[in-house]
Structure 1
Amino acid sequence: MNLSIQLFAQARDIAQRDRIEIELPAQATVADLRNQLVQHIPELKTIVPHLLVAVENEYATDDTILKENIPIACFPPVSGG
């Protein structure tokens, strides 16, 4: 399945683009997506383990199964006060 992932903040800056297209097999998970992000953009390796992944506007865990044609976004954790 073809997935379009929107990148934000530091992930976007490192990748030098705001969106990436990734091909994954059916029943792929967020963990699979993380691995493919590093394969496509090795410079993301240091931040990928810390990225928050939102699937259909909800935070997802690494075992969340992905589906084609759904919104997926990756961004670093946000802190502040």
Structure 2
Amino acid sequence: MAQAEARVERKVIETKTYTLELSDAEARTLAVILGKVAGSPTASPRKHAESVHNALKRAGVQWFDTPLSRLAAGVIAFDEGEA
């Protein structure tokens, strides 16, 4: 006679997170820098930069159309690959 047994294994996944407190000027500066990151939005570390950039936008950080955004030149480019 056939027998079957089901097993459930539970694994604990630890996730390390960080909280960063910034002044308005620091947040706007970081948003400008993150807005200059180039590379694949899915297959390079740009995805992490974009995630932080979007969080700053959701928090209401205003960086566009400011003298600060016009001071930034060039880009930071990531090749594909995991960070």
TM-score normalised by the chain length of structure 2: 0.25
TM-score normalised by the chain length of structure 1: 0.25
More strand by share: 1
More helix by share: 2
